[in-house]
Amino acid sequence: MELPEPKKTQTENQLSRKGKSEWFELVQLHPLNVPQIVYGHSFLLQMWTEVLSTKPPTGKKVKNRTNLKVLTHSYATKIEIDERKRAVGVRFTKDGHTYLAKSRQDVVISAGAFGSPQLLMLSDIGPREQLQRLGIDVIQDLPVGEQLLDHTSFFNLNFATNHTEQVNSLEKNVEDYLNGTGVLINAFNVPVVVFMQTKNAKTPGVPDFEALMIPSISSSEVTAKFWNTREELIAANRNPQSEFSMIGVLLHPKSCGYLRLKSKNPFDYPIINPNWLSDPKDEDIDVLYEGIKMILEMVDTPPFRKLDTRLKYEHLPACKSFQYLTRDYWHCFIRHFSTAIFHPTGTCKMGTHPSRGAVVSPQLKVFGVSNLRVADASVFPLSTSGHTNAPLDDGGRKGCRFDKESVNDFTDVVGK
């Protein structure tokens, strides 16, 4: 199937030329064709959901369903579990009142890699020692929240060129977007995605590094707020019309974080420690460093030299003791400009047995508690070799098939 082509910048056109040469296979990044190392264009799924067959039923089809009730502005606080260790409903609050949604069949949690483990632990399911410390009686001892993984990334790798791009007004960009064209149909303002294998890659054919090219059309103030860093560290003397940035993404991190309850109060945010770049052998930071070298090699090719592409010097006081562009400098740079790319997984890990770190079975059932499933990115046992959107879509469809096999009833909602 063919998707509309977004408008490309001159820099992206140069990468297209490079992509058709010896390094990358040029593809469109949508279903059924995913080579090992690729360059491609990204699209916003919500813009083309109907084309990609991911559009949910709308209008009368939903309104006429007797087995569906959607509650907005509602907050789940606990899964109700009876004396037989069987999930029988969900407690939630709405408009200052507490309710219990009763289920005659499975209760399915889909609150994400942070919300799902928090809800399980509030429901007396999780690491025994941690929950007992908070005064929670444990129904089922499971390693909930114990394997938080995310695609660690670095930002602020900026390049200047001799080419000036036209920067449209916000009104013009929105108008183009509504007509299915323009820069805003690029996902996250990322027109170019490159998957690479560094020399550190463990499995042939499986990329371990991703590079995202971003036009520098936002101000340093906006960028600093987005990345939660100081503005003075974000590209001094920026010229958004002639620059672009590269974000490097670690696809298979060795470092592992965790999620803990702060208290028994369901409205207290959990304690989240991502633990980025903490692996004892520094394998994660080495992959990111090798990725930077590949990016620098890429921009030192004839198509980019035509644009006089050059790395911008970024003043980073914390790294001034290291010689510029050496391995030690880049390690320092990565540690100071690393963050997540918002792909948390693994906190309700899928597997064969709790002794192997699993919380749910391959059928998404919570071990030791009947009629309870988890269906979201928290069940991913490993980091994906790309973004989590497509695997989540496929996992949701598979979860629906599991539910159809065991659920053929409706849910009652009663106040309490």
Q: Is 325 left (phi over 0), alpha (psi -120 to 50) or beta?
A: left
Q: How far apart are CA 311 and CA 291, in angstroms?
A: 15
The secondary structure of the chain, three-state, reads CCCCCCCCCHHHHHHHHHHCCCCCEEEECCCCCCCCCEEEECCCHHHCCCCCCCCCCCCHHHHCCCCCCCCCCEEEEEEEECCCCEEEEEEEEECCEEEEEEECCCEEECCHHHHHHHHHHHCCEECHHHHHHCCCCCCEECCCCCCEECCEEEEEEEEECCCCCCCCCHHHHHHHHHCCCCHHHCHHHCCEEEEECCCCCCCCCCCCEEEEEEECCCCHHHHHHHHCCCHHHCCCCCCCCCEEEEEEEECCCCCCEEEECCCCCCCCCCEEECCCCCCCCCHHHHHHHHHHHHHHHHCCCHHHHCCCCEECCCCCHHHCCCCCCCHHHHHHHHHHCEEECCCCECCCCECCCHHHCCCECCCCEECCCECEEECCHHHCCCCCCCCCHHHHHHHHHHHHHHHHHHCCCCEEEEEC
Catalytic, 30? Answer no
Q: How far apart are CA 216 and CA 189, in angstroms?
A: 10
Phi, psi of 325 (to 5 degrees): 75, 10
Question: Of these residues, 30, 252, 331, 343, which one is catalytic?
Answer: 343
Q: Which are the catalytic amino acids? A: 343
